[in-house]
Amino acid sequence: MDLQAELSLLAEADARAAQYLKSINVRPAFPSQQSIKNLDALVGALPQSPSDPKQTLALLDEYGGPATVASNGPNYFGFVIGASLPVAAAAERLAASWDQCASSHVNSPAMAAIEKTAGTWLLDVLDLPKQSGVGFGTSATACGLSCLAIARTGLLERLGWDLSAKGLTGAPEIRVVVPVSVHITIKKALRLLGFGMDRIVYAPVDQNGRVIPDQLPPLNDRTILCLQAGEVNTGEFDPFTNIIPVAKAAGAWVHIDGAFGLWARASRNYNHLTNGVELADSWTTDGHKWLNTPYDSAVAICRDKTLMAKTLNADAVYAQGEEDAQKNLTLEFSRRARGLSFWAALHSLGRDGVEELVDRYCNLATRLAAGCREIGVPVHNRVVLNQVLCALDNEEKTKSFVSAVQASGKVWFGPTVWRGKAAFRLSVSSWKTTEDHIDGLIEEFVRFL
Ligand SMILES: Cc1ncc(COP(=O)(O)O)c(C=O)c1O
């Protein structure tokens, strides 16, 4: 393919992308059964011979596009998934043409500088310890896994055990304490790291899903304690000021899963919810949730940057990197610069814009909760953040209501289980969602009640 053909292909992709975006506000929030069936056009056997790249692109657009979920629009309220900020999406488009391997300075000086700056800005806007290491990974899952691996290495190091050299056989056992309401991905990370699900210790939580300080299991210098900034159903925060100092005094490592809730720190109206979270040892959060960067972008933050870089080190004789090279702060070796969309979003929004985004989601969630109550849909959480948790008065009604609204295709949100009963979860996390969309969601509810 010559340069002319390459440019023409990219121009066509852009034109198709523009068509898609033009229709995003009126696309079904979830694709029709027919569109899903039409995906058959994409899923046959591996072609033997090459195709015209324009044909490949056309197939994707014509059959893939209609079967997409309109989560890049304003009417999607599922899974804390938001539309992508245009500046972050555009920056990624530009970066795709650069195609940088962002492992270290020597691989890409531009990406190294941009991600380093994104890290500094992130610590600033989230008001976390300035000396922390910041690794941009794929997801809160992967970044959580990194942080938990660092936590274990760090605790064992303090106990005089070199995990990198000696491995786990014969090592002092590290216990993990998590809230009963812990997110499934923390459990996945712990399982992969070999902690053993049967050995996890659960901390009881209150009716809001928050750890109860008085009932915290015993902690010591062989304990990793995971807490949450933003419980997945209620959006609530563990009482950090009551717990973290006690855990630290006992010698425990405290990790915070702040996949979406950590962003409350960026707002003067909501940062009180996170008081004390800065005392932890490590934190994870996503860009692709509240900051609305495109998938996949997340971050692992560790107070002890040296320990982080030592645990995740991937220097080779042919690929040496500085301590804060991203390949030494993340799971990946070859990688794209996931910090770039953070950089673009933070540069464009500035501190005020991030605060406004956080406030807007929370205000819209408050409006949504009020609307639900007005039409007789019971709200089961305090709505301290962007999550509204609802359930009708019996489980069957709740389930069929969720299915009926989902099937209408106008809006989408997901079911959940809360305190053993069927419920549903509405997340306001898209910069495109306005008061009108919230009112439209309530109108949809009325149609199906
Ligand atoms: C509280 C919480 N923790 C962790 C995760 C996992 O994040 P990710 O999907 O980026 O791996 C999520 C959401 O999916 C979440 O809501």
- Domain at 210, CATH number: 3.40.640.10
Query: 79, 178, 183: which to mutate for ligand 1, most atoms within 8 A of CB?
Result: 183
Q: How many domains does the chain have?
A: 3
Query: Ligand 1 centroid to 205 CA: how many Å?
Result: 19
Query: Ligand 1 centroid to 245 CA: how many Å?
Result: 25
Contact at 8 Å (CB) between 411 and 228?
no
Answer yes or no: is the C-beta of 236 below 6 A from any ligand 1 atom: no
Residues 6+ apart with CB under 8 A from 95: 336, 337, 340
Q: Which two tokens stand for residue 382?
A: 């305090």
Task: Verify that 290 and 420 share a domain, yes or no.
Answer: no
Q: Count the neighbouring beta carbons within 10 Å of the beta carbon of residue 164.
A: 11
- The pLDDT score that the predictor gives to residue 308 is 98
Residues 6+ apart with CB under 8 A from 59: 41, 42
Query: Ligand 1 centroid to 198 CA: how many Å?
Result: 22
Answer yes or no: is the C-beta of 205 below 6 A from any ligand 1 atom: no
Answer yes or no: is the C-beta of 286 below 6 A from any ligand 1 atom: yes
Task: Verify that 250 and 355 share a domain, yes or no.
Answer: no
pLDDT tens, position by position, 8-54: 999 999 999 999 999 999 899 999 999 999 999 999 999 999 999 99
Residues 6+ apart with CB under 8 A from 38: 63, 66, 67
Q: Count the neighbouring beta carbons within 10 Å of the beta carbon of residue 198.
A: 5
Phi, psi of 199 (to 5 degrees): -100, -5
Task: Verify that 312 and 180 share a domain, yes or no.
Answer: yes
**Which atom of ligand 1 sits closest to the CA of residue 228?**
1
Rounded distance between C-alpha atoms, residue 168 and residue 430, angstroms: 43
Strands (E), 290-413: 298-302, 387-390
Contact at 8 Å (CB) between 227 and 238?
yes
CA-to-CA dists, residue 56 to 52, 60, 99, 424, 432, angstroms? 7, 6, 21, 39, 31
In a domain, 305, yes or no: yes
Q: Count the neighbouring beta carbons within 10 Å of the beta carbon of residue 428.
A: 26
- The pLDDT score that the predictor gives to residue 319 is 85
Strands 387-390 and 298-302: what pairing?
unpaired
H/E element, 141: helix 140-158
Answer yes or no: is the C-beta of 138 below 6 A from any ligand 1 atom: no
Answer yes or no: is the C-beta of 148 below 6 A from any ligand 1 atom: no
- The pLDDT score that the predictor gives to residue 320 is 85
Query: 71, 136, 185: which to mutate for ligand 1, most atoms within 8 A of CB?
Result: 185
Answer yes or no: is the C-beta of 28 below 6 A from any ligand 1 atom: no
**Which domain does 408 fall in, by range?**
351-448
Strands 133-137 and 282-286: what pairing?
unpaired
Task: Verify that 14 and 101 share a domain, yes or no.
Answer: no
Taking alpha carbons only, the member of 120, 151, 138, 140 closest to residue 258 is 140
Answer yes or no: is the C-beta of 156 below 6 A from any ligand 1 atom: no
Fill in the amino acid letter for 285: T
Phi, psi of 224 (to 5 degrees): -105, 125
Task: Verify that 129 and 185 share a domain, yes or no.
Answer: yes
- The pLDDT score that the predictor gives to residue 321 is 80
**The 223-228 sheet, strands edge to edge:** 133-137, 298-302, 282-286, 253-257, 223-228, 175-179, 201-203
Q: Give me the helices (H) in 31-166, please.
A: 33-37, 53-59, 86-98, 109-125, 140-158, 163-166
Instruction: Name residues of the chain where pLDDT drops below 50.
Output: none
Q: Which two tokens stand for residue 376?
A: 């007789």
Query: Is the pTM value of this prediction over 0.95?
Result: yes
Residue nearest to atom 2 of ligand 1 (CA): 259
Task: Verify that 204 and 268 share a domain, yes or no.
Answer: yes
In a domain, 84, yes or no: no
Domain boundary at 277, 312, 346, which? 346
Domain boundary at 320, 346, 372, which? 346
Answer yes or no: is the C-beta of 216 below 6 A from any ligand 1 atom: no
Residue 223 pairs in a beta bridge with 175
Residue nearest to atom 3 of ligand 1 (CA): 259
Q: Which two tokens stand for residue 196?
A: 């053993």
Rounded distance between C-alpha atoms, residue 403 and residue 110, angstroms: 48
- The pLDDT score that the predictor gives to residue 67 is 97
Answer yes or no: is the C-beta of 112 below 6 A from any ligand 1 atom: no
Contact at 8 Å (CB) between 220 and 212?
no
Query: Ligand 1 centroid to 141 CA: how many Å?
Result: 6
Task: Verify that 360 and 335 share a domain, yes or no.
Answer: no
Query: Ligand 1 centroid to 418 CA: how many Å?
Result: 17
Task: Verify that 372 and 249 share a domain, yes or no.
Answer: no
Task: Verify that 338 and 439 share a domain, yes or no.
Answer: no
Query: Ligand 1 centroid to 256 CA: how many Å?
Result: 12
In a domain, 279, yes or no: yes
Query: Ligand 1 centroid to 38 CA: how many Å?
Result: 31
CA-to-CA dists, residue 432 to 71, 74, 93, 414, angstroms? 10, 5, 20, 19
